Structure 1
Amino acid sequence: MSDERRLHDRHSTDLDIEVFELHSHRRLGRVVDLSSDGFMLFSDTPLAADELVECRLVSEQVIEGVGEIQLVADCLWSRPGADGQHGWAGFHIIDLSEEQAAALDILLQHL
């Protein structure tokens, strides 16, 4: 039986998309895969699960005028990397304005 929890396909990305906490500007990590409802992050330090994060997804490459997306995401899971320093985390997007959702769709079309 397949796992049907995801509503949208995740796309691995060749784009360099970094994630920053909105208010502290702290770098949270780099997006590994992305969908319209969530993303997986490779982080410099392990993150806490069940944490709501207001963040900015910043693309190194501006695509059709889109270089940054602001959203609120819930960290569903987090696990340390093999080296014990980095980590992996899965996020579900829970708050995204209509304008930011349109910007996300533009990025997804280029993955």
Structure 2
Amino acid sequence: MQNNKRHLTRHELNASIDVWDAQSDEHLGRLANIHAQGLMLLSDSALVEEKLYSLRLTLPQSLVDTGELMLAVDCLWVKSSEVEDESRHWAGCQIIDVSNEGLAVIELILSRLRRS
């Protein structure tokens, strides 16, 4: 696992945002937190470290009208966690490709999180 130093504050979400593999349409998990350069997700099955993923995030309309956010990430680390006999996996990812519209959506999400 890499020793990454965060330069941006990650914002925890109070909305449920599902994360899907955009190529296989497999449900990968739920977004735990996000910032403009990265995100962390919680899943039932472990992602693969140092693998590139194309993600589709399903956004609630109460958060943003666009419905989905598409982005590409590099999975930097994966950590397993046993919680009440339920195996979960945390994955930290760096955003490596996102459209200008996608960046605007992330900024909108962050601005709404800062106000709540």
Q: TM-score range by the shorter chain?
A: 0.7 to 0.9
The aligned length equals 109
1:58 Cα deviation after fit: 1.2
Report the equivalent of 2:100: 98
Q: Flag the 1:76–1:84 CA change in 2: closer, same or farther, 3 A.
A: farther
2:34 maps to amino acid:
L
2:63 maps to amino acid:
I
CA displacement, residues 4-62 of structure 1 (integer Å, 9 cap, x when unaligned): 82232100110111110001110111011111111111001111110100011112344
Under a length normalisation based on structure 1, what TM-score does the superposition of the two structures give? 0.88
* The 10-residue stretch of structure 1 (10-19 or 52-61) with the greater mean CA deviation from structure 2: 52-61
Equivalent position SS for 1:101:
helix
Indicate if the aligned counterparts of 1:15 and 1:61 stay in contact, CA closer than 8 A. no
Report the equivalent of 1:80: 80
Under a length normalisation based on structure 2, what TM-score does the superposition of the two structures give? 0.84
Q: Gapped runs of 5+ residues in structure 1? A: none
Q: Flag the 1:81–1:32 CA change in 2: closer, same or farther, 3 A.
A: same
1:86 Cα deviation after fit: 2.0
Q: 1:33-72 maps to which residues of 2 (within 5 A)? A: 33-72=33-72
Structure 1 Cα separation of the partners of residues 92 and 4 of structure 2: 16
Q: Gapped runs of 5+ residues in structure 2? A: none
Structure 2 Cα separation of the partners of residues 64 and 12 of structure 1: 16
Equivalent position SS for 1:110:
helix
RMSD in angstroms over aligned alpha carbons?
A: 1.8
Q: Flag the 1:46–1:63 CA change in 2: closer, same or farther, 3 A.
A: same
Structure 2 Cα separation of the partners of residues 60 and 99 of structure 1: 17
1:68 Cα deviation after fit: 1.2
